Amino acid sequence: MSSSTPARTRAEQKRQYREQPRQAGIYLIRNTVSGKLLLGSSMNLHGPLNRHRFMLSIGAHPNRALQDDWRRLGPDAFEFTVAEVVTPQDEEAGPHEDELWLLEQVWIERTSPFGERGYNLHPRIRDA
């Protein structure tokens, strides 16, 4: 096997990642011990989920309460899930931000992820 094979493999993986359609929607990070959750949304769901998991794993997550629970309970006490994907009204155009905004409001009302019930600190749950 030549030394260029891993580079081509990485390049192919990057190309496949870029070409895969982005899903917009709602995600949850749930503490399975306490039931507390972090509710989030994004126009690209898998990016924030990966980022949250990575930041928690290196001890650098900006949400101190979530990081403290992760450190205390360990990664097996948390579930990372896609709760709902935006179904675009126009399949060709893809999901629109206003459709995601409406979905955010439904999930905020449904879960109330603040205070004792969750890790969210304010009602803006959209990841950039």
| CATH number of the domain where residue 50 is located | 3.40.1440.10
Give the domain range for residue 52. Answer: 23-117
Q: Which tens digit of pLDDT belongs to each residue from 27-75?
A: 999 999 999 999 999 998 889 999 999 999 999 999 999 999 999 999 9
In a domain, 45, yes or no: yes
How high is the pLDDT of residue 2? 47
Q: Is residue 101 part of a domain?
A: yes
* 122 in any annotated domain: no
Helices (H), the chain: 5-19, 46-57, 64-73, 97-111
Residue-level pLDDT at 46: 84
Q: How many domains in the chain?
A: 1
Distance between CA 45 and CA 26 in Å, rounded? 7
Look at residue 13 and tell me if it is in a domain.
no
For 71-93, what is each residue's pLDDT tens digit?
999 999 999 999 999 876 655 55
Q: Is residue 127 part of a domain?
A: no
CA–CA distance, 106 with 50 (Å, rounded to integer): 24
More confident residue, 109 or 10: 109
Q: Specify the higher pLDDT residue, 56 or 16.
A: 56
Q: Which two tokens stand for residue 125?
A: 């749950």
Sheet bearing 78-85, strands edge to edge = 37-42, 25-31, 78-85
Helix (H, G, I), strand (E, B) or coil at 84: strand
Is residue 53 situated within a structural domain?
A: yes
